[in-house]
Amino acid sequence: MGIAEEIKKLKVESNAVILAHNYQVPEVQDVADFCGDSLDLCRKAEKTGADTIVFCGVDFMAETASILTGKKVLVPDADARCPMAGMLPAVQVREAKKKHPGIPVVLYINTLAEAKAEADVICTSANMLEVINSLDSDTVIFGPDSNMAYFARKKTKKNIITIPEAGHCIVHRGLIPAKRISEMLKLHPAAILLAHPECEPEVQEMAHHIASTNGMLKLARALPAKEFIVATEEGLGYRLSKENPDKKFYVLAGAVCRNMKKTTLEKVRECLTRKEPQVFVPPDIAKKARRAIERMMELSKG
């Protein structure tokens, strides 16, 4: 029996569902019940009837699934952490609230549970503008991604106070430089440039469309263009090509999130066999964080 078959069997035995982020390696995406971006996976986690969730992604995603469902959430690799999420400790959110009393705090889903517990509402790259625009305030505290703050400032015209000042994704900042994007645009003049809002402002300015990974999947299906340059983690290229075999997608070689790639089929099988490692969020933190996540879900019903 192949490893994918073994995983299917173990999944049935433990009434488990496998959720995988769009940046996971192809073979992990292929064994998953659902692939998607953070918002999509939150919705899937909320609706699942399974007893156990195997979350193939990074730390904050598995925490969010655990907070939303209260179910057993297994992570194939407990060291798969998002460095951006680690850039905003809860204490810094508390300090910002003290410094700017009454100003709503919107935190990107790429934050750890303790920070989420301090937020008024959470957002993802798919619903950030919707969430910020829904708030009855001209000023918003936002963190941790300063590039997403740039995008939000431009699109919402609100005053965005960023915490920390220069939070960022190491992949979108360091491995998707504007110089390489402009070279690719010259090389493929007919291509549409899709950029993630975690990209640097220079890349955002060159983009034809700025979207979450699921937003990019929708655009690739809907637009008549036959070629796309994809400015995000290279894992999305697999799903884009699989769903649109008649179109070409140029991803940046080397735009790889090492943490996303820590999950392998062997580790998925291992965690289903051993029923660990399991995510644990302290109940008091989970309760507070859940309020902020649920508020986001209410604001973005789509």
User: Does 58 participate in binding ligand SF4 (rule CB under 6 A)?
Assistant: yes
Site string for ligand SF4, 103-142 (x = CB under 6 A): -------x--------------------------------
Q: Could you please report the per-residue DSSP string of 112-126?
A: -HHHHTT-SEEE-TT
Asked if 169 interacts with ligand SF4 (CB under 6 A), we say yes
Taking the least distance from each CB to ligand SF4, the nearer of 11 and 204 is 204
Packing angle between helix 3-13 and helix 265-274, nearest 10 degrees? 30
Q: What is the 3-state secondary structure (H, E, C) of 21-86?
A: ECCCCHHHHHHCCEEECHHHHHHHHHHCCCCEEEEECCHHHHHHHHHHHCCEEECCCCCCCCCCHH
170 binds ligand SF4 (CB under 6 A): yes
In whole angstroms, the minimum distance from the beta carbon of 68 to ligand SF4 comes to: 19
| For ligand SF4, the closer CB: 86 or 277 | 86
**Could you give the CA distance from residue 94 to residue 133 in angstroms, rounded to a whole number?**
23
Is residue 257 involved in binding ligand SF4 (CB under 6 A)?
yes
Measured from the CB atom, the residue of 118 and 233 that comes closer to ligand SF4 is 233
Residues 64-93 that bind ligand SF4 (CB under 6 A): 82-84
Closest CA to 104 of 118, 90, 91, 114: 118
Nearer to ligand SF4, 120 or 233 (CB): 233
Structure-block tokens of residue 215? 């937003």
What residues line the site for ligand SF4 (CB under 6 A)? Answer: 58, 82-84, 110, 169-171, 233, 257, 259-260
